[in-house]
């Protein structure tokens, strides 16, 4: 993947400069163990209550996707998550646009029942 250092737009192919803002574009790779914190240490601690539903969102930045759309990888991801008790609740396509550039991204919503119970 490639990212503009100025506007932080991401691209799947290399450009000499960002087509959006003209900034420098650099190559980067996300590592599986790389974690982006959702909350700062100032936030209150959060512990999942096993008696409540849990939700997971999969996007094209998830480890199961590659730079190209691959239904077999999505199927594998859904089957692996199903083994952990996750159920597909919804999938949507979202358009993200910017000046001169837009991308369409698949977003998958999964749900896990309280205490791992399976809904029939």
In terms of average pLDDT, the best of 42-46, 62-66, 88-92 is 88-92
Helix (H) / strand (E) element for 11: namely strand 10-11
- What ranges do the domains of the chain cover? 1-31, 49-120
Count Cβ atoms below 10 Å from residue 58 Cβ, excluding itself. Answer: 21
Kindly report, residue by residue over 18-48, the tens digit of the pLDDT: 777 788 888 877 655 555 555 555 555 567 7
In the predicted structure, residue 56 carries a pLDDT above the cut 80? yes
The pTM assigned to this predicted structure is 0.55
Contacts of 63 (CB under 8 A, 6+ apart): 32
């Amino acid at each position: 993947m490639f990212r503009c250092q100025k506007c932080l737009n991401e691209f799947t192919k290399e450009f000499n400069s960002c087509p959006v803002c003209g900034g420098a574009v650099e190559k980067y790779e996300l590592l599986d163990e790389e974690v982006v914190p959702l909350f700062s240490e100032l936030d209150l601690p959060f512990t999942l209550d096993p008696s409540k539903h849990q939700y997971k969102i999969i996007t094209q930045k998830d480890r199961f996707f590659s730079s190209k759309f691959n239904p077999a990888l999505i199927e594998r991801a859904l089957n692996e998550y199903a083994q952990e008790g996750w159920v597909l609740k919804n999938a949507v396509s979202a358009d993200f646009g910017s000046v001169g550039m837009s991308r369409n991204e698949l977003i998958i919503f999964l749900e896990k029942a309280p205490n791992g119970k399976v809904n029939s």
